[in-house]
C-alpha cells in the first residue's frame, strides 16, 4: 500500500499528482473464501479489517449490493460519543471512541476524528434527572462525562438561546472527548486497509440467497454468481430482516427511515456538537461550514431511503427556539437512511440458528460511533466463537428477557 504522508503529498505535487495509486481494488468474486461479510458499510469493513489485523484471517470477501459506504455509514450525522447507561454498552461504545482517537494513524488514512465535545441538553427536569443518572453510571464505568449548568452551556455554544419560553436549557450532559469524524473516510480507510491485506471488496453485488448444508452455512448466491464460504457475517443494517429471512430465521428488529439535512455553508459559529432531545434535533457544523441537522425517525416501518419536505420543516421548527439563527438559513440537501431498531435500542452481535452464520445489526440510529469497537468485537466473535465486547448482545437476550435498555441514550426518538 502506498503510504500517505506529507512527503508523499510533496512528491506527488512535484509530478502533478500522476503517481497516486487506487485506494482499493474493486475485485471480482472468487469461488470460495474463509469468510464472507455481507455489507460494505463501516461495520462490515471494520469487521474484515480486525479479522485480518487481530486474527490473521485474510481470505475474506466484503460484498455490497451498492457502493461501499453507500448505506447508513455515508448518510449519518457522524456523532461519536459513549455516554450510555448500561455497563455492556459503555464498554463497547467507549472502546470504539477510544479506537477512533488513533484510527487515522492505525489506517494511515485521515478519518478526521474531531473530539470537539458533545452535549446532550436537558430542557426538562425529568431529562436533567435522567442525565444525572447517566453521569453517575459513566463515572463508575470510567467514561468521562459531567453535568454542566446553563451558563457553561452558553459559554461552550454562544449561538444557543438558553432562555426559551417553552424549553429553557437547564443543563447538559457533557462529554468533552466525544465529537465527530468524516463518515466516508471511515469506510474508505478501512476498505483501503482491507484491500491491502489481500481481501476482496466486491461492489454492485447483491446477495440474493444463503446456502447451507446440514444446518451449517456453506455460501451465498449473488448477482455475480455463487460464492462458497466457511463463515458468513451479515452486516446489512436496515436490510438485516431480509438477510435473516434468507438464512431461515426472524429478528426482533424493525426497519425505518431516519432523515438528516444540511444548511447552506456559513462562517464558523459552533465548535461543539449539540443534541436537544426534548425538542428533538441535533446539530453540528461541518468543516465546509454547513449546519448538519438531524431529527427523529419516520413514524412507520419502511424502506424508503430518501428525505421528505415535512421532515425538514418539523425538525427545524423544533430547533428554532433554542437555535434562533437557523430561521435565517437556507437548507441545502436532505437524505434518509434505513435504520434497524431493536426493542431495547441496543445492537445484536450474535451467533444465529444457522451454524457458521453471524449477525451484526440493530445499531439503529446510533451505530456510526460504534464502528471500530463493533468491528473489533464482531471479528473476535467470528474468529473465536465469543468476545467479551459482544457476549451480552446475543440474540438469546430477547428470549430470556435480559434487555439492555438504552432508550434514553439512543438520543433519537423512535
Ligand atoms: P450500512 O452502512 O447501512 O451498511 C450496510 C450495507 O449493506 C449497505 O452498504 C447496503 O448496500 C448493504 N446491503 C444491504 N443488503 C444487501 C444485500 N442483500 N447484499 C449485499 N449488500 C447488502 N450513528 C451515530 O453513531 N451517530 C450519528 O450521528 C448518526 N446519525 C445518523 C443519521 C442518519 C440520517 C442515519 C440514517 C443514521 C445515523 N446513525 C448515526 C446511524 C449509523 O449511520 C448506522 O448505525 C451505521 O452507519 C450502520 O453501519 P452499518 O455498516 O451497519 O450499515
Ligand atoms: O446516536 O448520537 C447518536 C445520534 C445522533 C444523531 C443520530 N444518532
Asked if residue 99 lies in contact with residue 93, where contact means CB atoms within 8 angstroms, the answer is no
Distance CA 345, CA 251 (A): 14
The residue whose C-alpha atom lies closest to atom 5 belonging to ligand 2 is 79
Q: Per-block average pLDDT, block size 10, for the chain (414 residues)?
A: 94 96 95 98 98 98 98 98 97 98 98 98 96 97 98 98 95 98 98 98 98 98 98 98 98 96 97 93 95 90 89 91 95 96 97 98 97 98 98 97 90 68
Has residue 295 been placed in a domain?
yes
Alpha-carbon dihedral angle through residues 178, 237, 310, 164, given to the nearest 10 degrees: -20
Same domain, 136 and 197: no
- Please tell me the predicted confidence (pLDDT) of residue 414: 60
| 140 backbone dihedrals φ, ψ, rounded to 5° | -70, -30
Choice from 365, 370, 406 to test ligand 2 binding pocket (greatest atom count within 8 A of CB)? 365
- Please tell me the predicted confidence (pLDDT) of residue 413: 66
What is the CATH classification number for the domain harbouring 357? Answer: 3.50.50.60
Same domain, 206 and 238: yes
Task: Name the residue range of residue 392's domain.
Answer: 26-82+84-108+183-252+344-410
Has residue 18 been placed in a domain?
no
Please tell me if the CB atom of residue 255 comes closer than 6 angstroms to any atom of ligand 1.
no
Ligand 2 centre distance from Cα of residue 410 (Å):
7
User: Which helix (H) or strand (E) segment is 381 a member of?
Assistant: helix 371-384
Minimum-distance ligand to the CA of 280? 2
Could you tell me which residues come within 8 angstroms of residue 100 by beta carbon, excluding any fewer than 6 positions away? Answer: 80, 111, 113, 181, 369, 372
Same domain, 310 and 394: no
Q: What Cα–Cα distance (Å) separates residue 40 from each residue in 46, 66, 67, 206, 406?
A: 9, 9, 8, 11, 26
Distance CA 184, CA 161 (A): 32
- Please tell me the predicted confidence (pLDDT) of residue 113: 98
| Structural domains in the chain (count) | 2
Could you tell me which residues come within 8 angstroms of residue 278 by beta carbon, excluding any fewer than 6 positions away? Answer: 121, 122, 123, 124, 127, 167
Same domain, 400 and 360: yes
Amino acid at each position: 500500500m502506498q503510504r500517505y504522508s506529507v512527503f508523499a503529498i510533496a512528491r506527488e505535487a512535484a509530478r502533478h499528482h500522476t503517481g497516486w495509486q487506487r485506494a482499493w481494488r474493486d475485485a471480482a468474486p472468487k469461488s470460495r473464501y474463509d469468510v464472507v461479510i455481507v455489507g460494505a458499510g463501516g461495520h462490515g469493513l471494520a469487521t474484515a479489517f480486525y479479522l485480518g489485523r487481530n486474527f490473521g484471517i485474510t481470505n475474506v470477501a466484503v460484498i455490497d449490493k451498492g457502493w461501499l459506504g453507500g448505506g447508513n455509514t455515508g448518510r449519518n450525522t457522524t456523532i461519536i460519543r459513549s455516554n450510555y447507561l448500561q455497563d455492556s454498552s459503555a464498554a463497547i461504545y467507549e472502546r470504539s471512541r477510544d479506537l477512533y482517537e488513533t484510527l487515522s494513524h492505525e489506517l494511515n488514512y485521515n478519518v478526521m476524528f474531531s473530539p470537539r465535545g458533545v452535549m446532550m441538553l436537558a430542557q426538562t427536569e425529568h431529562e436533567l434527572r435522567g442525565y444525572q443518572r447517566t453521569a453517575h453510571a459513566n463515572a463508575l464505568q470510567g467514561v468521562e462525562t459531567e453535568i454542566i449548568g446553563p451558563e457553561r452551556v452558553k459559554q461552550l455554544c454562544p449561538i444557543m438561546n438558553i432562555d426559551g419560553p417553552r424549553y429553557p436549557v437547564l443543563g447538559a450532559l457533557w462529554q468533552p472527548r466525544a465529537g465527530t469524524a468524516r463518515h466516508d473516510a471511515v469506510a474508505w480507510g478501512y476498505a483501503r486497509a482491507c484491500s491491502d491485506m489481500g481481501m476482496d471488496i466486491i461492489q454492485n453485488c447483491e446477495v440474493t440467497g444463503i446456502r447451507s448444508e446440514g444446518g451449517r452455512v456453506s455460501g451465498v448466491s449473488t448477482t455475480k454468481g455463487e460464492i462458497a464460504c466457511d463463515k458468513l457475517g451479515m452486516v446489512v443494517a436496515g436490510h438485516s430482516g431480509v438477510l435473516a429471512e434468507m438464512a431461515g430465521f426472524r429478528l426482533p428488529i424493525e426497519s425505518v427511515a431516519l432523515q438528516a439535512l444540511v444548511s447552506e455553508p456559513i462562517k464558523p459559529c459552533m465548535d461543539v456538537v449539540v443534541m436537544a432531545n426534548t425538542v428533538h434535533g441535533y446539530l453540528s457544523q461541518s468543516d465546509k461550514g454547513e449546519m448538519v441537522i438531524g431529527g427523529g425517525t419516520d413514524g412507520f416501518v419502511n424502506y424508503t431511503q430518501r428525505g421528505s419536505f415535512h421532515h425538514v420543516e418539523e425538525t427545524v421548527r423544533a430547533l428554532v427556539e433554542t437555535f434562533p439563527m437557523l430561521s435565517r438559513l437556507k437548507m441545502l440537501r436532505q437524505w434518509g437512511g434505513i435504520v434497524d431498531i431493536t426493542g431495547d435500542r441496543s445492537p445484536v452481535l450474535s451467533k444465529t440458528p444457522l451454524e457458521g452464520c453471524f449477525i451484526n445489526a440493530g445499531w439503529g440510529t446510533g451505530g456510526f460511533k460504534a464502528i471500530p469497537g463493533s468491528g473489533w468485537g464482531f471479528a473476535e466473535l467470528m474468529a473465536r466463537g465469543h468476545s467479551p465486547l459482544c457476549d451480552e448482545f446475543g440474540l438469546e437476550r430477547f428470549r430470556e428477557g435480559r434487555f439492555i435498555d438504552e432508550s434514553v441514550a439512543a438520543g433519537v426518538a423512535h
